[in-house]
Amino acid sequence: MNTENHSEIASFIWSIADLLRGDLKQSQYGRVILPFTLLRRMECVLEPTKNAVLDATKQHADKPETARDRLLYRAADQPFYNSSPLSLASLSDTQTGEDLMSYVHSFSAQARAIFEHFNFEDFVQQLESSNLLYQVVQEFAAVDLSPKRISNFGMGSVFEELIRKFAESSNETAGEHFTPRDIVHLATSLVMTGEEDHLQPGKILTIYDPTCGTGGFLSEAESYVKSISEQVDVSVSGQELNPESYAICVGDMLIKGEKVENIKLGNTLSDDQLRGNTFDVMLSNPPFGVDWKKVQDKVQKEHKERGYDGRFGPGLPRVSDGSLLFLMHLVAKMRPAEKGGSRIGIILNGSPLFTGGAGSGESEIRRYMLEHDLVEAIVALPSDSFFNTGINTYVWVLSNDKPEQRRNKVQLINAADRYAKMRKSLGSKRNYIPESEQDEIVRLYGRFEETDESKIFPTEAFGYRRITVERPLQLNFQASPERIERMKGEKFFEKLAEDDQANLISACESLGDPLYRNREDFLEALKGECTKATFYPSAAQLKNIWKALGEHDPEADYCRDKKGNLEADPDLRDNENVPLGESVYDYFEREVLPHVPDAWIDESKTDEKDGEVGIVGYEIPFNRHFYVFEPPRPLEEIDADLKECTDTIKRMIEEMAV
């Protein structure tokens, strides 16, 4: 069999874009080349049964459309057909555009819709008006994209490489459309590990990706299942926001003979088109750090009105990063454990691990995941593994039906060093994970043991209570010129009538320069002078005055309220994170009181869910658990290096002077 490397095929197809230079914008090349590539692939797939379809078209021309469709599908032996006698090679050179669109319109409905998502007809007209269409058609007609030459997997790689090339050439983000195949394979392997018992012959496995792009995760998961058992029936579902990626995904699946009814186009967060469905396996690589402002109203409405009956019950992350919304979306589609449960593999950046303090939306989402024992493992991937970013990324593996040994535990795996350098960078992707390293990462996960690269923690290890530590307010007061000037800049002072401003200043100046270390003594003196100056401050104004004329003084008397209770100094307020499960009072006595004996816990700050003192928070400080201290080099070595550098510079200067 004469086969060709998919990279070479992609490069050849890419070279056809040279014909478009000057007549189309560079950012438009992909919108021409990608649908033509898909069209040629579909043509090659249908070639063996083309005559049978043409015969059936003539034979059943008078039958109702539904019955006719069914017979043409059967003749094509594919989930799509084309009833036209035309082909790319046979299109007329005088009416190429008309013939081409007639050919495209002869596809079955689902296949025809693919080209509509590319706005194919508009670009055909543009190419024809530039006298380029026939040339482009002939170039593609000469490309052999038959299944005998290139597999479905290879064809998927061709599409992905073309998308990446066009995205780079137009300064778009290729990584938003597809995930590198090595990452897809690793994430899929992690999620499917241990699921062999669920892949018995005759079973139906449902797989879902809410950000399916060109369908990489769905294809890889199906391939994984089929490698274990060809007799497992796989049903794939997904949703994609980008019309062109969606079109490629649908086209790829049609070519592979799969149903595409459950591949949807639209925004998953604002318009879940598979609402109410649950799935066995879910995989996703949502966009990193992308805001969700466009869908904010709908998401907030669902959170408020549906709560835990909807997808976003635990809380909402900040608008600048919607990654955790996709995580909650997937969790909402988990099948109940008593019905077999579900497994999730989602790729996230580092932000969801720790962003947001106790009580924040992010923390509450982590709290929900951990307290419901959904997080099974988190794997740190090598940096520079993606096409459009070099940031740290992680695979989260979740399950609502954990095996006994994993119950109430989370495994952290540091695979950041398990990579190889690429011979040639692809965008930001400089590293890849070889199959040997992928296998070792999966083994680390499967063994579930403590090693330098694998750490195991109870779920509560990531929780804490944030307590508010208060210290007493101690101020001295003085009506000095400097403090009076400071008071003049306060908002309350600016709002006073001019006469009141003058009278207040007069009262303060009459106090003189004595330093008061007792607030009650100062207020008594101040009120007396205000009365003499015919200025009668309200309680609120009086508070603003003593705040403006006061300064922190550890030697001053404590300030107390009318009930004699100590007042807290907001400038000295602090928070302490107490490990979950430990008494906040024991922690406070051990860690705080030895350093600040007059501090106390603000017991009014309680957790909204359990009512106990301190607000519960969760974070996963991944890097901290794998940090290895490296002592600094001896001073002698550093001095020697400095001397060597100095000597080298000196020699260079001497040589230049000669």
In the chain (658 residues long), the average pLDDT of successive 10-residue segments reads 65 88 82 91 94 94 90 92 95 93 94 91 92 94 91 79 69 55 91 82 89 87 83 91 87 81 94 95 89 94 95 95 95 94 95 94 97 97 81 93 96 94 80 93 95 96 97 96 94 95 95 92 95 94 95 96 94 96 96 96 95 96 84 84 88 79
Domain assignment present for residue 99? The answer is yes
Domain assignment present for residue 648? The answer is no
| Same domain, residue pair 296 and 428 | yes
Domain assignment present for residue 340? The answer is yes
Is residue 493 classed as helix, strand or coil in its secondary structure?
helix
pLDDT value of residue 222: 86
| Same domain, residue pair 457 and 479 | no
Tokens of 178: 């597809």
Nearest-angstrom CA–CA distance, 558 and 555: 9
pLDDT value of residue 658: 62
Boundary of a domain, candidates 166, 184, 213 = 166
pLDDT value of residue 639: 85
| Same domain, residue pair 159 and 278 | no
| Same domain, residue pair 344 and 267 | yes
Q: Which of 296, 445, 283 is nearest to 380 (CA)?
A: 445
Give the total number of structural domains in the chain. Answer: 3
Is residue 205 classed as helix, strand or coil in its secondary structure?
strand
pLDDT value of residue 628: 76
Domain assignment present for residue 635? The answer is no
Task: Decide the pairing of beta strands 454-458 and 463-470.
Answer: unpaired
Domain assignment present for residue 378? The answer is yes
Contacts of range 509-512, beta carbons closer than 8 Å, 24 or more positions apart: 509/479, 509/484, 511/479, 512/479
Could you tell me which residues are beta bridge partners of residue 82?
107
Burial of residue 101 (number of CB atoms within 10 Å: 0-12, 13-18, 19+):
middle
Domain assignment present for residue 609? The answer is no
Nearest-angstrom CA–CA distance, 462 and 373: 12
| Same domain, residue pair 231 and 335 | yes
Residue pair 40/141 in contact by the 8 Å Cβ criterion? yes
Q: Which of 382, 398, 377, 251 is nearest to 329 (CA)?
A: 398
pLDDT value of residue 7: 78
Task: Decide the pairing of beta strands 393-399 and 343-349.
Answer: antiparallel
Which distant-in-sequence residues (6+ apart) come within 8 Å of 285 by Cβ? 179, 183, 184, 187, 211, 213, 217, 346, 347
| Same domain, residue pair 328 and 427 | yes
Nearest-angstrom CA–CA distance, 106 and 96: 15
Could you tell me which residues are beta bridge partners of residue 263?
238
pLDDT value of residue 306: 95
Boundary of a domain, candidates 461, 495, 513 = 461
Tokens of 241: 């926001």
pLDDT value of residue 168: 61
Q: How high does pLDDT run on average in the chain?
A: 90
| Same domain, residue pair 293 and 369 | yes
pTM strictly above 0.75: yes
Tokens of 488: 């003049």
Nearest-angstrom CA–CA distance, 482 and 505: 12
Burial of residue 242 (number of CB atoms within 10 Å: 0-12, 13-18, 19+):
middle
Q: Which of 307, 303, 316 is nearest to 364 (CA)?
A: 316
| Same domain, residue pair 499 and 539 | yes
pLDDT value of residue 223: 84
Could you tell me which residues are beta bridge partners of residue 334?
279
The CATH number of the domain holding residue 257 is 3.40.50.150
Q: What is the DSSP letter of 633?
A: P
| Residue at token pair 């205000």 | 530
Is residue 340 classed as helix, strand or coil in its secondary structure?
coil
Could you tell me which residues are beta bridge partners of residue 614?
606
Question: Domain limits at 488?
Answer: 475-552
What Cα–Cα distance (Å) separates residue 88 from each residue in 102, 155, 266? 11, 19, 32
| Same domain, residue pair 304 and 453 | yes
pLDDT value of residue 436: 94
Boundary of a domain, candidates 122, 139, 166 = 166
Nearest-angstrom CA–CA distance, 45 and 264: 24
> What is the strand order of the sheet 454-458 is part of?
263-265, 233-240, 204-209, 281-284, 343-349, 393-399, 375-380, 409-414, 454-458
| Same domain, residue pair 411 and 492 | no
Domain assignment present for residue 514? The answer is yes
Q: How many residues does the chain have?
A: 658
Q: DSSP string spanning 599-628?
A: -EE-TT-B-TTT--BBEEEE---HHHHT--
**Separation of first and last alpha carbons in the chain:** 69
Which distant-in-sequence residues (6+ apart) come within 8 Å of 527 by Cβ? 542
pLDDT value of residue 592: 97
pLDDT value of residue 505: 95
pLDDT value of residue 49: 95
pLDDT tens figures, 386-423: 876 778 899 999 999 999 999 999 999 999 999 888 88
Which distant-in-sequence residues (6+ apart) come within 8 Å of 34 by Cβ? 118, 159, 162, 163, 166, 244, 248
| Residue at token pair 């070279």 | 15
| Same domain, residue pair 237 and 332 | yes
| Same domain, residue pair 188 and 206 | yes
Q: What is the DSSP letter of 472?
A: B
Which distant-in-sequence residues (6+ apart) come within 8 Å of 37 by Cβ? 13, 140, 145, 158, 159, 162
Angle in degrees, CA 514, 515, 516, rounded to 5: 115
Domain assignment present for residue 656? The answer is no
Q: Which 3-state string (H, E, C) describes 163-174?
A: HHHHHHHCCCCH
Q: Which of 329, 355, 359, 360 is nearest to 344 (CA)?
A: 329
